[in-house]
Structure 1
Amino acid sequence: MARDLRGFLKQLEQRGQLKRISALVDPDLEIAEISNRMLQQGGPALLFENVKGSPYSVAVNTMGTVERICWAMNMEQPEELEALGKKLSMLQQPKPPKKIAQAVEFGKVLFDVLRAKPGRDLFPPCQQVVLHEDELDLNQIPMIRPYCGDAGKIITLGLVITKDCETGTPNVGVYRLQLQSNKTMTVHWLSVRGGARHLRKAAERGKKLEVAIALGVDPLIIMAAATPIPVDLSEWLFAGLYGGSGVNLAKCKTVDLEVPADSEFVLEGTITPGEMLSDGPFGDHMGYYGGVEDSPLVRFHCVTQRKDPIYLTTFSGRPPKEEAMMAIALNRIYTPILRQQVSEIVDFFLPMEALSYKAAIISIDKAYPGQARRAALAFWSALPQFTYTKFVIVVDKSINIRDPRQVVWAITSKVDPVRDVFILPETPFDTLDFASEKIGLGGRMGIDATTKIPPETNHEWGAALESDPDTAAMVDRRWAEYGLANLQLGEVNPNLFGYDMR
């Protein structure tokens, strides 16, 4: 199978997970409305082949289920994502192997790194058609407008590629862009992101920042670009580690940057420091329209593309959305990395309904008083995206953190709000979170829902209720004798907080 968007769409179609739509559809509101209904039902990816105002097809909902994300990453089961996370954790904090088996395992990881190095393509498919500044018209790209209150058309799954003007180190991020004219767009990125840092450095040196936007790439590369883990490796190398082989790159025509050779479209341009335009409002993952912000203006000078390119897109909003499915998959990858950073953590879960990162449930193997609080504080600083997690609930390792019944039981039976709830006021926060009194500053809450030990409490904790093991074993043996073996029982859904993928 080809390592590109087309190969992935072919795989989805072969597995009955792609629906082609030949009816005429409007990229303004209509495509998003159709796609959102499919997302709510866990439906297939969609390929719109007849889009109003554009000669190109639009693919959406390609990563609308965790299953399809696994396929994009050359995996079949979600459990394999955790194995990938273990590999990445070894690279993040390598330790001298103490046993031959550990040395062999680490050697395999280093070999994977060598295999993951990017390749070069001298005749890339993404440059089959080249449109220079006097020919290009961004309106030909079938960008969607998802919500009626949105300010305009947007790009959502584009890889925004920039380079540090001092070190030459590239950054690949997934940022939203708003169409401003037939040759310009604004890019919306947080000040802590790599692209924003590169722009500040360029401004200090009085230079323009070169930018390339790669559209319609292998979804695996999008997953790599969306993985903000603190390892000194490029996103291209991450993508190679994810896929088992290196990503082929191609040099851009007008800027000194490299892009995936199999991209469907590549937009090449520059940002002049200080040149800004109003960006927004747009519907966001919080379930509300965001505000209007002045954002950097990108002026495009060249567009290259494949013949008959396919435009890949998605949109934000209250879960479930594709970004929520991606977050669930990344949750699995993060787990071994988080254990490496915070040794007492046994498992952690980011419920999709909590916007995939606003609330975290972590379980620990509790060994000393105050450990739950320490684990919560360590969690907030472990990875960049956890800076914006508002609520951290810490439970014992015996609790299934993906079962809301067990989590709620732990909170209600083990928590005294005076003793076990702590709040950090006015910490740096997500500017899209309107619940905060001050935009950009917000509080965080930790909840210790573990069993308390002295001196956390001055009284003995009641013994937990458990079945008599001999009686339980006897009932297991006699279950069929009771006539209950084939009884169809209704189940209480244990996945109200998200998806139990175990």
Structure 2
Amino acid sequence: MGYKNTRQCLDALEAEGELIRIDAAVDARIDAGAIQRRVFRAGGPALLFTNVKGCRFPMAANLFGTKKRMHFLFRDTVDTVRRLMKLKLNPMEALKRPWQYLGAPLTAYHTIPKRVSTGPVMQNVTSVSSLPQLVSWPMDGGAYVTLPQVYTESPAEPGFAGSNLGMYRVQLSGNDYLRDEEVGLHYQIHRGIGHHHAQALEKGAPLKVNIFVGGAPSMTLAAVMPLPEGLAEIFFAGAMGGHRIPMVRREGGLPIPAEADFCICGTVMPGAEKPEGPFGDHLGYYSLTHDFPVLKVDAVYHRDDAVWPFTTVGRPPQEDTLFGDFIHELTAELVPSVFSGVHEVHAVDAAGVHPLLLAVGSERYVPYAGERQPQELLTNGMALLGNTQTSLSKYVLIAAREDLEHGVNCHDIPAFFRHMLERVDLTRDLHFITRTTIDTLDYSGISLNQGSKLLFAAAGAPKRTLSVEMPSGMDLPRGFRDPQVFAPGILVIKGPKHRRKRDQQDPAMERLAAALVKAKGVEGFPMIVVADDAGFTATDWDNFLWVTFTRSDPATDIYGVNGFTHAKHWGAETAMVIDARLKTYHAPPLEPDPEAEKRVDALGAKGGPLHGII
């Protein structure tokens, strides 16, 4: 059976040699997060901080920090849940291989939460200021909960069936929040809690919210699971946890998991917003201060042996990368059933997940055509941009499965880019959606939550041979220098510092595009990227993907060598040029605290608890 609480989970990991205790005094401000990131990058164990400065609660980190550990935590249920998802895809599987689905009825039973009168989480009452005050990055606006499970129910249809469990940002201190009375609640667009909040606002009523920390690890996984709208995450948590989730009904409030370590109960009043942030986020930048809902705190509960699980987020890869990989394992076979004609998708972690989506679809609309071109692929791409979390994607690159050579798929990023760049018709195959909604955390757009998207489709035979030799006769305009070949067909150039305002194109980029027309061989580089540091950008694929797709808005920042606009369609006859410089309006990238890094180094020195790990 799955683990029911954090202590069970920690004990099992320690027995497996997958956890170490850090008894040295550690500050939750900056140091704890710096330690977690360093240990994660080293592929190290889970961590239990037993001596947190100024706080009586221990903290645990890196619980989900390796693929091995993730599978260990869910080893009793992962195969059954995967088979159940396959069963949804093809019910005949149960008739073909009934022995594989023997646990299915019991798993279905586990999805139903169990109502209980009380539980360990209700043993004690505390205050927000007594909780661990984790500050992960130097410019963070205050302390944050980084593994919260935010629970709401539909005001129109209360109950578990209409509930939402999501991992939304929770700010415990800082800014204008009243100490112990208020916390910030930052949720992004396209999130389930937004529907519940809208229903409450329509009724002019407060929205009840519970924030759980710890408990069954399946609850944490459920909070990040991109389930279809209408399917409650609490049901998935039971299936993944291998047991019915016991829920305590607090009189006049929402239910609380009996085995949670902590619970913050509160209400969001109509019209109650305050500045929230900044916060170092998973794109690798700070998300800046903006008004978001305020939760009025009614009560804070904790169990006797409470432990505060946490992670830190930053430029990928981080611990949340493992959640994405694990979720892909569970759901890969469901992609064709959710998106007809789409065979696989890859939200690229190195690019911050939402900025770049790679996909493979079918191109069957005109099988008799002499020259195949994207048609069904465009339908597939629009479906991806209109459903579930893939709708937040900024760049969608989609290839036809019929054209893929043996072994090429959208998880082989170098091969996939080469495939796309060999086949794209830049005069036809770039389709922009302008002034639309984008990820709240993406500051490349024209305003908060607003920017553009690019659907980049390619089908048919190769149209060009990609170059790996620098074009000759490159007379770059003033401020542009250091051109480098990054990969076949991809050129990176250092550009001058960006000085334009938001929602403006840069004449300097137009001059570059015009100058490149004269370069002999530039047609072998259909993708040209301009960056602040060409050497850094061209170091490896992780750097290239992060810089290119987190620092550009398609409509504002793409230019063309021999570019044109015809009947509102934009294209380029020779090459597309992406302006991936940091803009004047971008949020600053995350930088570690040098002094904190020195303290982490000391823990890794001989005799220290992290010696041999970092």
Fold match (TM-score > 0.5): yes
1:247 aligns with 2:238: no
Aligned to 1:204: 202
Out of 122, 128, 132, which is 2:123 matched to? 128
The residue correspondences of 1:351-366 to structure 2 (distance < 5 A) are 351-366=348-363
Q: Which residue of 2 aligns with 1:147?
A: 137
Contact 2:216–2:241 at 8 Å: present in 1 too? no
Aligned to 1:382: 387
Size of the aligned set, in residue pairs, is: 448
The aligned runs of 1:21-420 (5 Å cut-off) are: 21-74=22-75, 84=81, 87-88=84-85, 91=88, 100-101=95-96, 109=104, 112-129=107-124, 131=125, 136-168=126-158, 169-179=162-172, 180=177, 181-230=179-228, 232-252=230-250, 254-369=251-366, 370-383=375-388, 385-395=389-399, 396=401, 397=404, 398=406, 399-420=408-429
Task: After superposing the two structures, state which structure 1 stretch, 103-112 or 413-422, moved more.
Answer: 103-112
For 2:363 and 2:144, locate their aligned partners in 1 and report how far apart those are by CA, in whole Å: 47
SS at match of 1:418: coil
The reply on whether 1:430 has 2:439 as its aligned counterpart is yes
SS at match of 2:287: coil
SS of the counterpart of 1:63? Answer: coil
The one-letter code sitting in structure 2 at the alignment partner of 1:393 is L
Structure 1: how far apart are the matches of 2:454 and 2:331? 21
User: Counterpart of 2:427 in 1: which secondary structure?
Assistant: helix
Structure 2: how far apart are the matches of 1:289 and 1:137?
Answer: 28
Q: Hey, what's the Cα distance between the residues in 1 that align with 2:150 and 2:93?
A: 41
Unaligned runs of 5+ in 1: 460-492
Cα distance in 2 for partners of 1:403, 1:307 equals: 48
Determine the structure 1 residue equivalent to 2:430: 421
Alpha-carbon separation, structure 1, partners of 2:236 and 2:346 = 23
The change in CA–CA distance for 1:99 and 1:172 in structure 2 (over 3 A counts) is: closer
Alignment of 1:456-471 (within 5 A): none
Q: Is the 8 A contact 1:85 1:335 kept in 2?
A: no
1:44 to partner: Cα distance = 1.5
Separation in 2, partners of 1:99, 1:265:
40
Partner Cα distance (1:450, 1:270) in 2: 51
Q: Distance in 2 between matches of 1:355 and 1:381?
A: 20
Contact 2:189–2:440 under 8 Å retained in 1: no
Over 3 Å counting, the alpha-carbon distance change for 1:137 and 1:267 in structure 2 is: same
Is the 8 Å Cα contact of residues 3 and 73 (structure 2) preserved in structure 1?
Answer: no
For residue 423 of structure 1, report the CA deviation from its aligned partner.
2.1
- How far does residue 37 in structure 1 lie from its aligned partner after superposition? 0.9
CA distance in 1, matches of 2:239, 2:133: 31
Q: Do the aligned residues in 2 keep the contact of 1:267 with 1:302 (CA within 8 Å)?
A: yes
Residues 297-341 of structure 1, C-alpha deviations (whole Å, 9 max, x = no match)? 222222221113101112221111122221122222332222102
- The 3-state SS of whatever aligns with 1:392 is strand
Specify whether residues 351 and 173 from structure 1 end up closer, same or farther in structure 2 by C-alpha distance, changes over 3 A only: same
In structure 2, the gaps of 5 or more residues are 367-374, 465-539, 546-614
Matched residues in 2 for 1:75 and 1:106: separation?
Answer: 14
Offset from partner CA, 1:385-405 (integer Å, 9 cap, x none): 111111222233542332233
TM-score by length of 1: 0.81
Inter-partner Cα distance in structure 2 for 1:17 and 1:432: 33
**Contact 2:46-2:65 within 8 A present in 1 as well:** yes
How far apart, in 1, do the equivalents of 2:426 and 2:273 lie? 47
Label 1:445 to 1:57 Cα distance change in 2 as closer, same or farther (>3 A): same
Task: Say whether the 8 Å CA contact 1:85–1:336 is kept in structure 2.
Answer: no
Q: TM-score, normalised by structure 2?
A: 0.67
What is the rounded CA distance, in whole Å, between the counterparts of 2:328 and 2:93 in structure 1?
29
